[in-house]
């Protein structure tokens, strides 16, 4: 019932890409949650589970898909749903059965899709991709108030197209690396401790310094001649700056 594929379409053909960089799963059937993880995580997407919908579930740099059960949606209330669906780059997909009048009410509140409980994980991905490819989303203002294209010397980040360039060369990042890059840019010339990076990029509190350091090293290597912009603050963390 919750397999990622069917006889005509398999997961690799459906889920390749990075349109919906972060997925948050709330109150889903265990089999569907496992199937979604099997589809998305191999593509480098961050998949999280949460106990309930919160208005703080927003991002600035990457598109985000929230998949929740009908029960989780009902428990959240209209104010929470309004805060989430009013955010640029957030798609809310609801899994479950509901009456026609309830469906209309939920759609008017901004929910992107309502799907049946026997939905395939691959179908959920396609529906999210369709949301982020629509003209309505493309025409929205960029999620960061720093503009759709950020240029720092030879480094350019196009936040609408989700592409990064060093000079004329495009740099290809994983979803997590792109999140980390955007966090640094959002806090340009500021100290970012490892704990802050873990909380904001990985959404994981605690101490995992080696994880942060490993990804920062990879980021520097991929940035090549712009790698120096990620500066180590000894004993504290990192600072991203275009000034040497």
Which pLDDT tens digit goes with each residue over 44-91? 778 888 888 887 776 544 568 899 999 988 888 777 887 787 766 788
pLDDT in tens, 140-169: 333 333 446 788 888 988 877 788 999 888
Report the pLDDT averaged over residues 188-208: 80
Q: Which helix (H) or strand (E) holds 149?
A: strand 149-152
**Spatial CB neighbours of 239, under 8 Å, sequence gap ≥ 6:** 189, 190, 191, 192, 230, 231, 233
**Residue 104 pLDDT greater than 90, yes or no:** no
**Spatial CB neighbours of 83, under 8 Å, sequence gap ≥ 6:** 55, 58
pLDDT at 132: 72
């Amino acid at each position: 019932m919750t397999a990622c594929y069917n006889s005509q379409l398999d997961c690799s053909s459906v889920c390749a890409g990075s349109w919906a960089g972060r997925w948050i799963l709330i109150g889903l059937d265990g089999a569907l949650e496992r199937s979604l993880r099997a589809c998305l995580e191999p593509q480098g997407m961050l998949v999280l589970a949460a106990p309930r919908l919160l208005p703080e579930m927003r991002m600035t740099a990457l598109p985000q898909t929230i998949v929740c059960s009908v029960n989780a949606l009902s428990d959240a209330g209209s104010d929470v749903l309004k805060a989430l669906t009013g955010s640029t780059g957030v798609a809310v997909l609801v899994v479950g059965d509901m009456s026609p009048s309830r469906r209309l009410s939920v759609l008017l509140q901004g929910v992107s899709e309502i799907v049946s409980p026997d939905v395939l994980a691959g179908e959920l991905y396609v529906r999210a991709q369709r949301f982020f490819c629509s003209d309505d989303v493309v025409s929205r203002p960029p999620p960061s108030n720093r503009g759709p294209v950020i240029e720092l010397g030879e480094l350019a980040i196009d936040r609408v197209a989700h592409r990064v360039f060093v000079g004329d060369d495009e740099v290809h990042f994983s979803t997590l690396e792109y999140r980390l890059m955007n966090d640094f840019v959002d806090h340009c010339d500021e100290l970012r401790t490892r704990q802050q990076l873990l909380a904001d990029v990985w959404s994981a509190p605690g101490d995992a310094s080696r994880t942060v350091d490993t990804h920062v090293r990879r980021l520097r290597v991929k940035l090549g001649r712009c790698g120096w912009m990620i500066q180590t603050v000894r004993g504290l963390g990192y600072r991203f700056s275009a000034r040497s």
